[in-house]
Amino acid sequence: MLYLSLTYLVLNPLFSFLSSMRNLSTTKAAGGPNDDEQDFVEYTSSAFLGQTHTMVTYTRASESVMCAPLMIDAAVWCDYFSRQSWHSDRVAKALAYLFRVADGLASGVDPGFFRQMQELERQVVGMEESKSFILKGWKERKRVRIRPEEKTTEWAIPHDARIICAGLACVDMQLNSASGGDGGEGIETFAGEKSIGGGSVSMACKTLSRLCHGPPLQEDYMQITPPVVHSVIPLCKIGNDDTGNKLLKILENSSVCRNVDTTYTRLARQRDPTSRTALAVLPIYQDGRRGCFFDAASNGTFSARDMVSMISSLSAGANAPPLDTSQMTNEEIDDYRERLEDLTPDYGAFLFGYPHLLPRLQGEALAQVFLEARSIMVDGGLIALDLNGVPEGSFQTREGSLRSLSDLRNDPVIGMAIEHVDILHLNEDELCLLTGCELSGTAASELEDEYAIASGVNLFLRAGVCVVAVTRGPKGSFVSCNNAERFRRTPML
């Protein structure tokens, strides 16, 4: 609010006249510049003893000069509402006072200036009250409206919390219409390449950053509806190379919302100047087959120490110089710490992907990372684990038997970390490899397969996971939840 007032006071001394001038017709000044305009305005007000007082003003100014503060304020207000994930319909009504004609989503707003200012106040107060309601304990508000030709979902993340996406990241270079694929030594051809973000970090960032409250008006130009997630923060290990630069650009441009913050990944790449960025070359052969040449590069040296350092840097005081507290009172020290805490953004979820492809982020190291992430999040946040790359022979059982709970907890990759996981995602093949359940995959065995999946999922629930989601390709998903006691252990759920 203060910024808004200062903008008008500094950039436009004639602001007091704008409320009456904006809806009046203007006349181009003869011989003046293209946007030079003059206005003749008559103000009439009530005076003493029922008399009226009329004041006539003549104003001449460049329209661009008068509009500049309005354009700045429109940007300031849009940024403010976007940070609160306020719906675009309400934002349009709130900002109707900035425009000459209330049109589009603002249609129907009272054309009177003071009525429109009241609408702005009403929207701001309503938004703050809604935010306050969430902070007092309502963890999520969700409303789904279904119409014959439209489906709209509106929801908000508590505390405007950021989401951290950590784990494996690489650049996927697809070679289109490649020849060969038979292992020969001849020169093969392809028709162009396309580079996209690969790995769990890239895909999670892309998906989360594209969640918006409604579609953009012009997706290639700008996103005018607020994103659901305030900021998406990738934490991955990349090198100081061209592939790393390409991956950063892919991450930052994955959404028109521009809400992917690569600051911490950029800082981390400076600590190991010799590392290389992972690259997957994926020839798509002319007969439809696909190949894969994968260089894990820096993912092979990505350690718990690297990840913990990245997580620690997310706090506001992480990069501040050491504070000399010898001359400070306890009250001053507490005040300093409170100010640092206020400056630290709220983090709500930590999504980690592909530990089987990260050899130094397994077992105890993975558990350490989860505990560190839990310590910086609101109410402990959410820990989600996405599995991929589970190798054949991960666990050997007698035919038809399931792995025991003790065996799962002693798994060298996820065993020590599994009790810290709130949400686990894996596909049915990975479920079979990790639990020993067997699926036939035929139409006649559907009920037996679902029973087998439930038995395997139950093993993870007994190990402490709260929600397990098993994706089954064209057959959809199988999702199972733990009991109420387990949900209470993770307040953010």
pLDDT at 3 over 50: no
Closest CA to 424 of 436, 438, 408: 408
Over residues 41-80, the pLDDT tens digits come to 888 888 888 888 898 988 888 877 777 888 888 888 888 8
Highest mean pLDDT among 131-140, 224-233, 480-489: 480-489
Checking if the pLDDT of 135 tops 70, the result is no
The residue with greater pLDDT, 32 or 40, is: 40
**Using one digit for the tens of pLDDT, what is the confidence trace for 156-180?**
777 778 999 999 999 999 999 999 8
Give the per-residue pLDDT at 142.
Answer: 40
pLDDT tens-digit series, residues 349-374: 999 999 999 999 999 999 999 999 99
Helices 63-83, 2-11: axis angle to 10 degrees equals 170
Mean pLDDT of the chain: 80
Pair of tokens at residue 208: 């989360």
- This prediction's pTM: 0.66
* pLDDT in the model for residue 481: 95
Higher pLDDT, 403 or 130: 403
Answer with the residue of higher pLDDT: 349 or 443. Answer: 349
Quickly state the pLDDT bin for 392 (edges 50, 70, 90).
Answer: confident
Strand 467-471, strand 423-427: pairing: parallel
pLDDT at 412 over 70: yes
Average pLDDT for 122-148: 52
First-to-last alpha carbon distance for the chain, in angstroms, is 34
pLDDT-derived band of residue 315, with 50, 70 and 90 as boundaries? confident
Whether residue 382 has pLDDT greater than 80: yes
The mean per-residue pLDDT over the stretch 452-477 comes to 94
Q: H or E segment at 231?
A: none
**pLDDT at 139 > cutoff 90:** no
pLDDT of residue 400: 58
- Least trusted range by pLDDT, from 117-121, 283-287, 338-342: 338-342
Confidence (pLDDT) at 223: 47
Distance CA(220)–CA(454), nearest Å, equals: 44
pLDDT tens digits, one per residue of 120-134: 888 887 776 655 443
Per-residue pLDDT, averaged over 233-240, amounts to: 94
The residue type of 300 is: G
Q: 225-253 b/e with 16+ CB inside 10 Å = b?
A: bbbbbbbbbbbbbbbebebbebbbebbbe
What is the structure's pLDDT at 454? 94
Confidence of residue 338 (pLDDT cuts 50, 70, 90): low
For the four alpha carbons of 400, 406, 412 and 415, in that order, the dihedral sign comes to positive
Is residue 75 helix, strand or coil? helix
Q: State yes or no: pLDDT of 200 exceeds 90.
A: yes
Q: Which of 92-101, 250-259, 312-321, 438-447 has the lowest mean pLDDT?
A: 312-321
Q: The tokens of 389 are what?
A: 């790359």
Per-residue model confidence (pLDDT) at position 178: 92
> What's the pLDDT at 457?
95
Question: What integer is the mean pLDDT of 308-337?
Answer: 71
**Mean pLDDT (whole number) for 420-437:** 95
Q: Quick check: 443 pLDDT over 70?
A: yes
- Mean pLDDT, rounded, for 247-274: 88
pLDDT value at residue 341: 63
Render pLDDT for 204-222 as a digit per residue (tens, 0 to 9): 999 998 887 766 555 554 4
- 378 Cβ contact list (under 8 Å, min separation 6): 158, 159, 161, 346, 347, 348, 492
Q: Which domains does the chain have, with CATH numbers?
A: 2-135 (no CATH), 164-181+189-316+332-488 (3.40.1190.20)
User: Residue 143 has what pLDDT?
Assistant: 41
